[in-house]
Each structure stands twice: as C-alpha cells, then as structure tokens.
Structure 1
C-alpha cells in the first residue's frame, strides 16, 4: 500500500484508540501484530494485546483521548507524535486517583503490511505522566 493509504489507515487507528472500538481495531490490526509497550517486558500481540494496552490506560484515565500532533511516513513505516489527555480518576500503576488532568507526549513508530498495522513501538513520556499524577 502507498504512504497515503497508510496515513489514511492511521487516521482510522486514531479513532480506534480514542473509542476502544474492538471491531474497528480488528479491521486495522493484523492478527499477528506485535506491540512493544514500555510497561511490559514481553510484546503484546494482536487485537487482544492492544485492547489490553487500552484497558490499562483507561483504568486510570477513563476519558483519555489521543491527539495527533505530527505524522511522518515513508514506505511501510509511520511515526506519530501524540498528546494524551485525560483525568486521573482510577488507580494507575498503583497510584490512587488524584483527579489531576494530564497532558502527556508520546512518540510511536508503526509498521504496516497490506493496509494493516503489524508492529508498534510505543514511547510515551511515562515519567511526565507520573509527575502529573503525583507518582
């Protein structure tokens, strides 16, 4: 697929992560996709792995939303800079809810095949997030 097609699929991916719509995610994420998350020693896999990542984030920040700030794409790869925003109303990494609003930057790298995401390396600013919730 073309770079433009991958960018279009990525726009749909943003809708998926902001809604946690598993049906949409199944259309965008390849069955054997690998997701490297900084909080997990082993990669998460497939739609269920990504749903687990979203569930972990939504457990602490039920209203979390991701906004794309910048996208750079070449060939089958895409880099995206996001801002994650939400309110800390649930426990997160053992920190009880503070009610604090967060705005955290993340830079993630994706690889596509046949119009679907097959790999992600997530790089959120976890230190900045923890600082904002008092951790």
Structure 2
C-alpha cells in the first residue's frame, strides 16, 4: 500500500532547505526508495514549509529512513528550522489520478460507443485533434465526432489501455486497438477480417477535460491488413 510522509517545518531559510534536498537526492542516487517528492510554502506564511514524500509502502519508507545520508540530512534540516519539524505518516486509502481517469474513459468508453453526451463530459468545446493521417487538425467536439463516426462505420472496435504515464497536464497512453471490419472504410469494402494495431496518444488536459490530442499509430499496417497496400 502506498505510504506518504508529510514533513512540516518553519524556516526563513527556504533556499538553503532546497539546496539541502538537492544534496540528499544526489547522495542517495540508486539507493533511495522514495518515488515522489513535493515541497511547498504556505501562501499566507512563506516560512511555513511542507514536504510530501511518497513511497511504495511503509517498509520501503523505513529502508529510506535507514540510509546514513537521510539521518545526516535530517540533522542539517533541523538546524535550518525554527522549531523541530513534525512528521505525519499516512497510509493512502484513495489515490485518484483524475486526468489519467478521464483519458482512460476516452479510450474504453467514449471512442468505442459513447454518445455526444459522453464526449461532452470529457472534451473541451475547443478540443483540437492532431492525427498525422489528416492534412489539417480537427477542431471542436462536433468535428471530432464526425471522425469517430467514420471509424465506427467501418469497424466494431475496442481499445485496451496498456500503459499510462501522467506528467502535469499531459497524459501519455499506450494502447492496443482491435476491430472487426464490418463496413466501408476509406473506400475499402468490408472484408469481415479481425485486425489489431498499436499506438500511443498524448493528451493535454485543462480543468479536468481533454483539450488536445496527438496520435501516433500503425496506420500503414492497418491499410496492409485491409488489402490496400502490399506488405
């Protein structure tokens, strides 16, 4: 279970504290077990500093605490603070990456069979779609729905999300697409073939909604399986 430690301290030497954290990261390279660290200052009191450190588990956190560099850095941290830092240990009960969840729903629910209402819950009104197969970007939800309709007319399909990585407002998803060629697609009459392709999509999110997408996928391979190209 994910474990989070919250370190609360008071200091007017924030720059020195930052340099101390940089030193700890450098000195524990390859041995530390922390997976995510965030430091913030209170907007109403710039001397109030909180650090949030995430670990895969409590046991991994204890391994980190037992590193000799961790104890030494902690003593130096105490010297920079006005009072003794306090520690709050949290077992994480709920951890939702909301942008990732929206992007996953985009693939598993919206694209295969979602109606306009579902897309409206996931996309901004000015949504922009970058697909290398299109000569121009597709802009707006209605225009994107026409693109989706063309794929649905040609295939019964599903997406399987293989991996997702989120960084701020961007989410990268590696996916597998499986489809049954049931109708005309790009001038190709139905073949009845089942086919698959892989791809990666980077989404940019804004206020919890997807506002932009960049696609990379094996369209050439798909056209070959449709019989349009000799492979």
Q: Same fold (TM over 0.5)?
A: yes
User: Quick one: distance in 2 between partners of 1:65 and 1:97?
Assistant: 18
Please tell me whether the aligned partners of residues 112 and 152 of structure 2 are also in contact (alpha carbons under 8 angstroms). Answer: no
Structure 1 runs not aligned, ≥5 long: none
Tell me the residue number matched to 1:82: 175
Please tell me whether the aligned partners of residues 35 and 49 of structure 1 are also in contact (alpha carbons under 8 angstroms). Answer: no
Tell me the residue number matched to 1:111: 204
User: Which has the higher Rg, Structure 1 or Structure 2?
Assistant: 2
* TM superposition outliers: structure 1 runs of 4+ over 3 Å: none
Deviations along 1:29-85, one digit per CA (max 9) or x if unpaired, are 001110012222111112112211211211211x11111111111010011111111
Structure 2 runs not aligned, ≥5 long: 1-95
User: Quick one: distance in 2 between partners of 1:19 and 1:71?
Assistant: 21
Query: Map of 1:19-98 to 2, 5 A cutoff?
Result: 19-61=113-155, 63-98=156-191
User: Quick one: distance in 1 between partners of 2:105 and 2:196?
Assistant: 22
SS of match in other structure, 1:7: helix
SS of match in other structure, 1:56: helix
Tell me the residue number matched to 2:20: none
SS of match in other structure, 1:64: strand
- TM-score of the superposition, structure 2-length normalised? 0.55
The root-mean-square deviation of aligned C-alpha atoms, in Å, is 1.4
Report the count of equivalent residues: 132
Higher RCO structure (Cα 8 Å, ≥6 apart): 1
- TM-score of the superposition, structure 1-length normalised? 0.91
1:9 to 2:102 alignment: yes
Please tell me whether the aligned partners of residues 77 and 112 of structure 1 are also in contact (alpha carbons under 8 angstroms). Answer: yes
Please tell me whether the aligned partners of residues 20 and 54 of structure 1 are also in contact (alpha carbons under 8 angstroms). Answer: no
